[in-house]
Amino acid sequence: MTNFRPKKRFGQHFLDETWAKKVVERINPLSTDCFIEIGPGNGVLTRLLLKHSENITAIELDRNLAATLKESLPDTVRVITGDVLGVDLSEISRQLKVKHCARLRLVGNLPYNVATPILSTTLKIAEKSDIWDATYMLQLEVARRVTATVGTKDYGPLALLTLLYAEAKEILRVPPGAFRPAPKVKSELISLRFKRNNKQPADPVLFDKLTRSIFNQRRKYITNAMADIARHHDVDPHSLCERTQIEPTRRPAELNLSEIIRLSNLLLALST
């Protein structure tokens, strides 16, 4: 499948085999692992993973690529044709667990135009689906927002969402020339180790709205940054800070995950 032409509308950039081998080294697959691969493309990563584990489910949006993968890969690989955002990952995970996998793992060279929604979706289903980890290739800019820490310029809603469900780290910088065609940006391989029994906000939707609202005004004091959403819920932002013991002159990027969860939970309690 090396001559398959990448399609721009699907955001396809096929990884060179030399770099795919480096990705597999970082994944460190075991024979007892089961994999769900998102966007296998021309199958270069799939074939390398097959040398370690036969239990692979690959989800490919491109019908032509999916058909070719079904023909060229062994029967132990299940190829699903469809959009990963419309596929029931929880059900796929359940089916794989029947095979008594030691670890259920996600991998993917994610299309950059839909990487963030795919990341968000898999983060939210990972714990209930008993998924152990994920290894994703992302645009460097997105990877930095995923792995950002408190007080940094990239720290914001995506980092907080990730922190709710996983421990994230960057594990391999990948140049544009590692892909065909070469993208205009650098890429980064990230590892997500999913948390178990992690503390969640009382209302995840409200938590998401709060983080987006305050980081839209990240340079303001927290009382001013959350004024709009507090007003919408008929709550005094100064009271929120006082009751959560958060200094009102701090800025959104200075607040850690537990502090923002406290704000979100109190906002919910005072508005119901």
Binding residues for S-adenosyl-L-methionine: 13, 15, 39, 60, 83, 109
DSSP output for 18-85: HHHHHHHHHH---TTEEEEEE--TTSHHHHHHHTT-S-EEEEES-HHHHHHHHHHS-TTEEEEES-GG
3-state secondary structure of 155: coil
Name the maximum alpha-carbon separation found in the chain.
63
Summarize the annotated binding site as residue ranges: 13, 15, 39, 60, 83, 109
Residue with tokens 């721009």: 8
> Do 155 and 173 meet the contact criterion of CB atoms below 8 Å apart?
no
Q: Is the dihedral of CA 142, 146, 151, 152 positive or negative?
A: negative
Distance separating alpha carbons of residues 218 and 152, to the nearest angstrom: 11
Neighbours of 170 (CB within 10 A): 15
Neighbours of 158 (CB within 10 A): 22
